[in-house]
Chain A
Amino acid sequence: MRRAFAQTLCRIAKTDPRVMLLTADLGFMVLEDFADAYPDRFFNVGVAEANMIGLSTGLASCGYIPFVYSIATFASMRGYEQIRNGPVFHNLPVRIIGVGGGFEYGHGGFTHHALEDLAIARIQPGLTVISPADYRQAIAAIEETHTLPGPIYYRIGKRDDYVLPGLEGRFRLGRAETITEGDDLLIVSVGSISSEAFSAREKLAGLGINATVAVVSSLRPAPKEDLRELLGRFSVALTVEEHYVDGGLGSLVCETAAESGSGCRVVRCGVREMPGICGGEAFLRDRSGLSVEGIFGTALAALDEGARSFGGLG
């Protein structure tokens, strides 16, 4: 996704002279094409994220559309107050690119694991929050949203070789995208982990359990109408996110279910505690129940629990 982002930005910058790219000294071997093509619109500000957000606020107030780039933890949190008091409060078109959601920087350790970025981003009024599920959707999302008047946080994954089946690169702001249909279970996922959610769905299908999988890439504005409609059709919904279970997609779906009075039970797959141990992305995902097996197991348990409470078998 990050290379797709860089290539898309190069393309957009060709016709939109307002587009700029700032990095806090990250993006080696990713951002060079932009830097070479538009040297006067590329700034490596050094290891100084707070300043990068402030600079981009000033630039945006004077008509530019600055994209600021860093690893998701640093992009979303080091300058969080500057984001709040700057582009959010003044409604300015600053684009914050946070690379590597969840455990994508696996061995990088806890400092590099973005587990709360979506939560803290989606509570800011007027801050659009987008987390694409694959590189094709990332391209579509950036192309569709880059001229929005207000600020945007994009959580961009590292993988550039994966295509989520059924998504076909679709992106619509404030909408959910259903990629497969089934009547037994609703699975709602966000971002790169959607690949595992889809595989878990295939595994469930092997047991004759058919799930609808909906991808939510636009967390703010949230696809409330789509979620309401989906939740109304199922008794159990499983949310899947590479993020703490609090504050992100799971919370959004719970809020929507409660507010709409759908009666749908929501089971959240996500990170519940600090990892506290080193390992690769697959290992860390698995420890948090976010592998295909983990999601599959949680889905079966949720359906079983639902059947018991519904049928009085327990």
Chain B
Amino acid sequence: MNREQITPYRIRKIIIEESKRAHVGHIGSALSVADILAVLFGAELRQCGTDDPQRDRFILSKGHAALTLYAALQLKGIIDEDQLHTYCGDNSLLGVHPEHHLPGVDFSTGSLGHGLSVGAGVALAARLSGNDYRAFVLVSDAECNEGSLWETVMFAAHHKLSNLVAIVDDNGQQAFGKTKDVIDLNPLAEKWRVFGWDVHEVDGHDFDRLQSTLRSLNTESGPPHVLIAKTVCGKGVSFMEGKVAWHYMPLTDDQYTMALEELEAGRT
């Protein structure tokens, strides 16, 4: 049932509509992770959006994709449509980066290199208290520039935090250009592997593959897990795909119409 409700298409449509309404950017980064959040919020996360201490936690460490999270929360029924429409308005709980005062946001983010350490703390707490909840942390590829992230990568591997799942949105772009031109991360999967993580390289837009990979993870014992999700920045809107400018630019009226038409045509 959730599969019909929280689809990548519906998330992307909300991203386009709300970013146009608010006249703000970060659209490319948001579209990049639409399929990943559709899988997580559609099927994977247990009791998300509740206050249940046993719920899985989700941390959007790449907080600039908050609109994707808001879309998932609205489709999940955790926030309503009226609240969604306050995105980037005054007196709103929905800013460019997500904050925990909004229901369904486990942790406020926006400063890269922080979320994975908090997720590791959650995973450690679950283990110490004998519970089976898990922490899912979505980081960007450029976030792997942050030294603090690797502090956590080492800690989680050393302590075998099998209930910690990192997902790297590997879209190859960052604010100023291609990641390979700024700080080349390759071989990214190999880096995580030699640090002791269970690494899965997946197509970050393949819903079924993402879902089956997440379901295959042993979150009860063994090393922590990372999905290196190969994605395309701006995925679903041809004139945005792979274009660095869409890290920041808002939509014109014509671009808005074209984007919605393309999404409709490619609807899955």
> Residues on A close to B: CB < 8 A?
40-41, 43, 45-46, 48, 50-51, 53-64, 81-82, 85-86, 89-90
Instruction: With A55-B117, A61-B121 given, name 10 new contacts (CB 8 A).
Output: A50-B113, A50-B147, A50-B148, A58-B118, A58-B123, A61-B57, A61-B107, A62-B53, A82-B148, A85-B108
9 CB < 8 A contacts A-B: A51-B151, A53-B117, A55-B117, A57-B117, A57-B118, A58-B119, A58-B121, A61-B125, A82-B117
Pick from B57, B106, B117, B129 the residue with the most CB of A within 10 Å: B117
> Chain B nearest CB: distance from A119 CB in Å?
22
Q: Are B107 and A51 in contact (CB under 8 A)?
A: no
Give the residues in chain A near B120, CB-CB below 8 Å. 51, 54-55, 58
Partner of B129, one of A46, A60, A63: A63
Give the residues in chain B near A51, CB-CB below 8 Å. 117, 120, 148, 151-152, 155
- In angstroms, Cα B152 to Cα A51, docked, is 6
- In angstroms, Cα B152 to Cα A127, docked, is 25
B100-145 at interface with A (beta carbon < 8 Å): 100, 106-108, 110-111, 113-114, 116-126, 128-129, 135
Q: Is the CB of B154 closer than 8 A to any CB of chain A?
A: yes
Give the residues in chain B near A53, CB-CB below 8 Å. 117
Q: Which 3 A-B pairs have the closest CB atoms?
A: A58-B121, A54-B117, A62-B125
Q: Are B128 and A58 in contact (CB under 8 A)?
A: no
Partner of A81, one of B111, B121, B128, B147: B111
> Chain A nearest CB: distance from B1 CB in Å?
30
- In angstroms, Cα B110 to Cα A55, docked, is 17
Give the residues in chain A near B128, CB-CB below 8 Å. 40-41, 64
Give the residues in chain A near B154, CB-CB below 8 Å. 46, 48
Q: Are A85 and B114 in contact (CB under 8 A)?
A: yes
- In angstroms, Cα B116 to Cα A54, docked, is 8
Q: Are A55 and B129 in contact (CB under 8 A)?
A: no
> Chain B nearest CB: distance from A89 CB in Å?
6
- In angstroms, Cα B206 to Cα A250, docked, is 60
Partner of B121, one of A40, A41, A48, A59: A59
Q: How many chain-B residues does the 8 Å CB contact rule pick out? A: 30
Smallest CB gap from B164: residue in A: A58
- In angstroms, Cα B53 to Cα A63, docked, is 9
Give the residues in chain B near A85, CB-CB below 8 Å. 108, 110-111, 114
Smallest CB gap from B100: residue in A: A90
Give the residues in chain A near B113, CB-CB below 8 Å. 50
Give the residues in chain A near B125, CB-CB below 8 Å. 58-59, 61-64
> Chain A nearest CB: distance from B157 CB in Å?
12
> Chain B nearest CB: distance from A45 CB in Å?
6
> Chain A nearest CB: distance from B55 CB in Å?
11
- In angstroms, Cα B117 to Cα A85, docked, is 12
Q: From DSSP, what is the main secondary structure of chain B's interface residues?
A: helix
> Chain A nearest CB: distance from B112 CB in Å?
11
Q: Are A90 and B124 in contact (CB under 8 A)?
A: no
- In angstroms, Cα B131 to Cα A59, docked, is 13
Give the residues in chain B near A82, CB-CB below 8 Å. 114, 117, 148
Q: Are B117 and A58 in contact (CB under 8 A)?
A: yes
Partner of B155, one of A48, A86, A90: A48
Partner of B151, one of A50, A61, A62: A50
Give the residues in chain B near A45, CB-CB below 8 Å. 155
- In angstroms, Cα B114 to Cα A51, docked, is 8
Give the residues in chain B near A56, CB-CB below 8 Å. 121
- In angstroms, Cα B158 to Cα A51, docked, is 14
Smallest CB gap from A61: residue in B: B122
> Chain A nearest CB: distance from B159 CB in Å?
8
Give the residues in chain A near B57, CB-CB below 8 Å. 61
> Chain A nearest CB: distance from B97 CB in Å?
10
> Chain B nearest CB: distance from A125 CB in Å?
15
Pick from A57, A58, A89 the residue with the most CB of B within 10 Å: A58
Give the residues in chain A near B118, CB-CB below 8 Å. 54-55, 57-58, 61, 86
Give the residues in chain A near B148, CB-CB below 8 Å. 50-51, 54, 82
Smallest CB gap from A51: residue in B: B151
Q: Are A90 and B151 in contact (CB under 8 A)?
A: no
Give the residues in chain A near B100, CB-CB below 8 Å. 89-90
- In angstroms, Cα B154 to Cα A90, docked, is 25
Smallest CB gap from A54: residue in B: B117
> Chain B nearest CB: distance from A19 CB in Å?
12
- In angstroms, Cα B124 to Cα A40, docked, is 11
- In angstroms, Cα B147 to Cα A7, docked, is 34
Smallest CB gap from A50: residue in B: B148
- In angstroms, Cα B135 to Cα A45, docked, is 19
Q: Are A58 and B53 in contact (CB under 8 A)?
A: no
Smallest CB gap from A78: residue in B: B148
Q: Are B119 and A46 in contact (CB under 8 A)?
A: no
- In angstroms, Cα B107 to Cα A60, docked, is 12
- In angstroms, Cα B112 to Cα A81, docked, is 11
Given the known interface contacts A55-B121, A90-B107, the answer about A62 and B114 at a Cβ–Cβ threshold of 8 Å is no
Q: Are B155 and A50 in contact (CB under 8 A)?
A: no
